[in-house]
Structure 1
Amino acid sequence: MKNLQNLPIGKSSFESIRENNDLYVDKTQHIFNLVSQGMYYFLSRPRRFGKSLTISTLRCLFQGKKELFKGLWIDENTDWEWKEHPVILLDFNGISHDTPENLKISLQRSLEKSAELYNLISDAPLLKNQFKELIISLNKKTGMPVVILIDEYDKPIIDHLGKGEKALETAKANRDILKSFFGVIKEGEVSDVLRFVFITGVSKFSRISIFSELNNLKDLTMTEDYADMLGCTQKELETCFAPYFSGFAQKQKMTEPDLLEKLRQHYNGYRFSVRDARVYNPFSILNAVDEKNFNNYWFETGTPTFLVNLLHENNWYLPSIENMEATEALFSVYEIERLQPEAILFQTGYVTIKDIDEGLYTFDYPNREVKTSFSENLFYSYFRGQKDVSRFILLSKYLRLGDMETFIEIMKGIYASIPYTIESKRDEAYFHTIFYLMVSASGIDARSEILTCKGRIDLVIEFSDKLYIIEFKCNQTAKAGIEQIRQKGYAEPYRQTGKKIILMGINFDTEKRNISEWKTEEI
């Protein structure tokens, strides 16, 4: 398998993969269902999730490049007519949008390039008219209905969020330009000559703000039938990637079943609909198999600064991310003027659907890669450049060894290094947040705010042979924490695990701004 980062330049991603790679997860059944059952579609997914590859696949399909689909589901199971259609591809990854004026100019240039491919020249003075003229002219010249593919439509908006008032005004102006531009697609003279429209993005802004004039789009974002169209299912992993497991397991010095379980924990877990169809992040799993290693591939490609800033601005209780609850109306769309952390966390891929109960959605981190990396990112955001806090990475080691003295000393050292000027309200929630971020960022399997029939457990940390049940107190005693664990029976659900159970009470002193006392008991 060739590294997907080093494919030939000048070809679409689908062409390059089919011609230069021996590994491809076949999603053409979904593609066929799309093109044969409807016409106008919208799909949002997190970055690096295969949106651009889907656009590329659709482009090659409508260009009639049958040879690229040989052996795939659509070629072997359908009577698809491999007719060439004119295709307009607008990839907003390559369209300038630093100012509204440059967005218009860059869009016009993209339309001109599409026209040049078919030896057409546009002299329309306005952006909307140029777009409309191009669509109609392509239909007249080729005699075929036109296909419009738009990738990362929201980039001119989200790239300006969280960067101050001036940038926010740019985002709003760009939004208005896009709203007017996309409205062309719905016009009667244009819609009559269209074959297919597909729009992708990371975010899902409401129809009112972006697609009010294009109100016939079918939103696939949370549609059950397309929940696993992007991403890799467990079955696809175990079949398509099977030839690579032996070498991977050998390098990692583990059995193949253990390798599969570790891959699942690190990269699987994304859920996008009521149907519980979990998928792997394709970018991470491809890179992990290619390099035969476990790294945070997806997270390393970038975290939106505005998301971290938004969580701080809203004084978000970060441990609650794991059991965040919201209705679909709250997390499925967002607006520039009133950004909701729930919506951004879900749409950008930092949390995913955990459970659904009577219309109430519960969320959690999708996998270990996201939780560990995002916790580390948030943890460092509290310290703003402090250089002496990286010892948190050792916390996992000392907890695993049961060396509580060293574990607490590291904790105390990190708390002591937090500048007084950046501290928020020094209550139990504050100390709990820092503690939770430290242990999660170190790679520990830590679960916060676990609901029981008698209350909520502050923190559970689990290893293969032991688990810690931790209760935090503020200006009280560590013993009070232990007593609460016992009185409320927090340990009862874990007795059947066969693991050693360690109860731990930790008391924080708000004046000293640190851990003042800790106590453990083993049961």
Structure 2
Amino acid sequence: MLAQRRTFTPDLAADARRFLDLLCELRCRSHRHRGAAVADRLSDHRQASSSIGARTEYTLSYPNLEVQASLNDSLLQGACAVIYRCQPGGTAASCTDLLLAHNLAGLQAHLNSLFASIPHDWYRNNPIAQYEGYWASIFYSHFAALGLDIRLEDVTNQGRIDMAVLFNGQVYLFEFKVVEQTPEGKALAQLQAKNYAEKYRSRGEPMHLIGVEFSSSARNVVGFELLTLEAT
């Protein structure tokens, strides 16, 4: 059944090793105070920890917005090292400039460069490019590195918005889809059909519905449709 539904079943041990290798490569950035903050948060959760035999499980979260942004920024650098070396200030800084200027056409080109920088070895002998979660996780990490107000799987009375970003008096609602080669327009269509914008209409801010489609064969963004709803 998992094979028929094309459900990705990763090699968790190998993935864990790769993740640990990536963490070991992260740059040292104020480890003292960040380590103390994480330790404090870990201490907060010890009372609710669960133990089964010799195994103890803890629930960890970000101690503050700075650590959340910094960790996502560092992980993104590990994933997309090429583009970080080529662009002064990194991808996060240029993304901020584009959002401040509300340059969504430039944002599309920026995202194309981001995904084009991912090493092809990531796709070798595995079907990861077929899964929406893979594309969405990188997309999220990129925006989370900015320290913005981001809501994932944002629940409404009609379904869930893949990602909502509230920034600079604007509301950006993203829907993600994976296609084989050419865009099909289903991402933006879902945003409209489900009337997801209604949840944020009371803010009185411009809302931008953005349907993003990723190609599993091209390994990049092939569809970036935009519909702007002016403030009422």
TM-score, L = length of structure 1:
0.32
1:422-457, CA deviations, whole angstroms, 9 ceiling, x for partnerless residues? 347112111111111111112332221112222211
Post-superposition offset of 1:469 = 0.5
- Per-residue deviation, 1:378: 2.4
Paired residue secondary structure (2:134): helix
Counterpart residue type for residue 30 of structure 2: E
Alignment check: 8 A CA contact 2:154 2:162 kept:
yes
C-alpha separation in 2, matches of 1:414 and 1:504: 18
Aligned to 2:183: 477
Measured after TM superposition, the shift of residue 392 of structure 1 is 2.9
| 2:106 paired residue number | 406
Q: Is the 8 A contact 2:100 2:168 kept in 1?
A: no
Match of 1:497 among 175, 197, 203: 203
SS at match of 2:85: coil
- Answer yes or no: is 1:387 the counterpart of 2:93: no
For 1:73-472, list aligned pairs within 5 A.
300-301=30-31, 332-333=49-50, 338=55, 340=57, 343=58, 346=60, 351=61, 365-383=62-80, 387-388=85-86, 390-423=90-123, 425-426=128-129, 427-472=131-176
Question: 1:108-131: CA deviations, max 9, x gaps?
Answer: xxxxxxxxxxxxxxxxxxxxxxxx
- The 8 Å contact of residues 178 and 215 in structure 2, kept in 1 or not, is answered as yes
**What 5-or-longer segments of structure 1 have no aligned partner?**
1-161, 164-298, 308-327, 352-364
- Tell which has more relative contact order, 1 or 2 (C-alpha 8 A, sep 6+): 2
Identity %: 25
Q: Helix, strand or coil: the match of 1:458?
A: strand
Q: Counterparts of 2:134 and 2:91 in 1: how far apart (Å)? A: 20
Instruction: Measure the CA separation in 2 of the matches of 1:338 and 1:421.
Output: 34
Provide the C-alpha distance between the structure 2 equivalents of 1:336 and 1:377, rounded to a whole number of angstroms.
35
In the alignment, the residues of structure 1 paired with residue 105 and residue 92 of structure 2 have an alpha-carbon distance, to the nearest angstrom, of: 14
1:520 positional shift: 0.6
The alpha-carbon deviation at position 384 of structure 1 amounts to 6.1
Q: Tell me the residue number matched to 1:101.
A: none
Matched positions, count: 185
Change beyond 3 A, Cα 1:332–1:413 = same
Q: What is the CA deviation profile of residues 86-145 of structure 1, one whole-angstrom value per residue up to 9, with x for unaligned ones?
A: xxxxxxxxxxxxxxxxxxxxxxxxxxxxxxxxxxxxxxxxxxxxxxxxxxxxxxxxxxxx
Q: Deviations over 1:389-438 (max 9, x none)?
A: 72232112212221112111111111111101134711211111111111
CA contact (8 A) 1:446 1:459 kept: yes
Contact 1:371 / 1:440 at 8 angstroms: preserved in 2? yes
Larger Rg: 1
Q: Deviations over 1:183-216 (max 9, x none)?
A: xxxxxxxxxxxxxxxxxxxxxxxxxxxxxxxxxx
State the distance in 1 between where 2:183 and 2:214 align: 8
Shift of 1:510: 0.8
Q: Is the 8 A contact 1:481 1:506 kept in 2?
A: yes
Q: Is the 8 A contact 1:382 1:422 kept in 2?
A: no
The root-mean-square deviation of aligned C-alpha atoms, in Å, is: 3.1
Distance 2:81 2:226 in 1: 33
> Unpaired segments of 5 or more residues in structure 2?
1-19, 22-28, 39-44
Shift of 1:515: 0.2
Q: Secondary structure at the match of 2:195?
A: coil
The answer on whether the counterparts of 1:478 and 1:505 sit within 8 Å (CA) in structure 2 is no
- 8 Å Cα contact 2:80/2:114 also seen in 1: no
CA gap 1:422/1:496 in 2 versus in 1, 3 angstroms: same
Would the aligned equivalents of 2:132 and 2:176 in 1 still touch at CA under 8 Å?
Answer: yes
4+ runs deviating over 3 angstroms = 328-331, 333-340, 383-386
Mapped contact 2:50–2:56 kept (Cα < 8 A): no
Tell me: CA distance 1:452–1:377, structure 2 relative to 1, closer, same or farther (3 Å): same
TM-score normalised by L of structure 2: 0.68
After superposition, the Cα gap between the structure-2 partners of 1:333 and 1:378, relative to the gap in structure 1 and judged at 3 Å, is farther
Which residue in the other structure is 2:6 paired with? none
Alignment CA distance shift 1:329-1:370 (3 Å):
closer
Change (3 A) 1:489 1:514: same
Identify if the C-alpha distance between structure 1 residues 522 and 453 changes in structure 2 by more than 3 Å, giving closer, same or farther. Answer: same
